[in-house]
């Protein structure tokens, strides 16, 4: 039996948000093994990265939405991941982002998250979503605020204290 899932493609000026490809795994694993992943469960070994990679694919199949791989249009390199995730025990769906080494500080995180948030509100009904952010992750806090998200409350994610930011509505009702 085969379960297939169509992942929509989103184009921005500099980026392509698209499905996972096996060729993306090396960049994914490099991020997972790096200190940059400390706010999202890392650093992790290659096997744990593989399981996380496969979970990202499975999320699309189970929920009908998930995180996109972010491809830098000009170079074709994988620049990160961005999208909606709703794992077991979470309060509600979250807009999450991981920007890979060499792509930070160029506005790509804002471009990708804004596009993913707008698409998810319009097509998946995921609007005014949250982001779980470690308060020490100052770059993610700054991005959330730039996206118009507001601190809502303190919370816990997988037993770790975090701050919960609420994003503004995309779809006006």
For 108-122, write each residue's pLDDT tens digit.
999 999 999 999 999
Residue 144 falls inside a structural domain: no
Q: 24 near 32, Cβ under 8 Å?
A: no
In the predicted model, is pLDDT for residue 128 greater than 70?
yes
CA distances 124 to 20, 54, 57, 60, 83, Å, are: 19, 21, 17, 12, 12
Q: What is the arithmetic mean of pLDDT over 20-48?
A: 80
Helix ranges restricted to H, the chain = 25-33, 46-63, 108-124, 138-146
Phi and psi at 151, nearest 5°, equal: -60, 130
In the predicted model, is pLDDT for residue 41 greater than 70?
no
Q: What is the CATH number of the domain that holds 48?
A: 3.40.630.30
Residue 171 falls inside a structural domain: no
Residue 20 falls inside a structural domain: yes
Q: 84 near 95, Cβ under 8 Å?
A: yes
| Residue 65 Rama label (left phi>0; alpha psi -120 to 50; beta) | beta
Q: What pLDDT score does 158 carry? A: 81
Residue 47 falls inside a structural domain: yes
Residue 158 falls inside a structural domain: no
Q: Which domain holds residue 30?
A: 10-126
Per the structure block, which two tokens stand in for 57? 């694919």
Residue 83 falls inside a structural domain: yes
CA distances 172 to 118, 121, 128, 169, Å, are: 11, 10, 11, 7
Instruction: Sort strands 130-133 and 160-166 into parallel, antiparallel or unpaired.
Output: antiparallel
In the predicted model, is pLDDT for residue 61 greater than 60?
yes
Number of structural domains in the chain: 1
Per-residue pLDDT reduced to its tens digit, 87-110: 988 889 999 998 988 899 999 999
CA distances 142 to 14, 46, 73, 111, Å, are: 21, 30, 25, 14
Q: What is the pTM of this model?
A: 0.91
Residue 85 falls inside a structural domain: yes
Residue 139 falls inside a structural domain: no
């Amino acid at each position: 039996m085969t379960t297939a899932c169509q992942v929509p493609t989103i184009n921005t000026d500099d980026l392509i948000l698209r499905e996972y490809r096996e060729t993306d795994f090396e960049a994914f694993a490099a991020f997972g093994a790096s200190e940059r992943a400390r706010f999202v469960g890392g650093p992790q070994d290659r096997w744990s990265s593989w399981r996380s990679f496969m979970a990202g694919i499975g999320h699309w199949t189970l929920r009908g939405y998930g995180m996109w791989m972010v491809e830098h249009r000009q170079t074709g390199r994988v620049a990160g991941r961005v999208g909606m995730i709703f794992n077991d025990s979470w309060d509600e769906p979250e807009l999450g982002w991981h920007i890979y080494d060499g792509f930070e500080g160029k506005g790509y995180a804002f471009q990708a998250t804004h596009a993913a948030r707008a698409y998810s509100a319009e097509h998946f009904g995921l609007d005014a979503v949250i982001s779980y952010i470690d308060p020490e992750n100052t770059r993610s806090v700054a991005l959330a605020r730039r996206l118009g998200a507001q601190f809502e409350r303190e919370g816990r994610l997988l037993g770790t204290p975090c701050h919960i930011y609420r994003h503004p509505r995309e779809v006006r009702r």
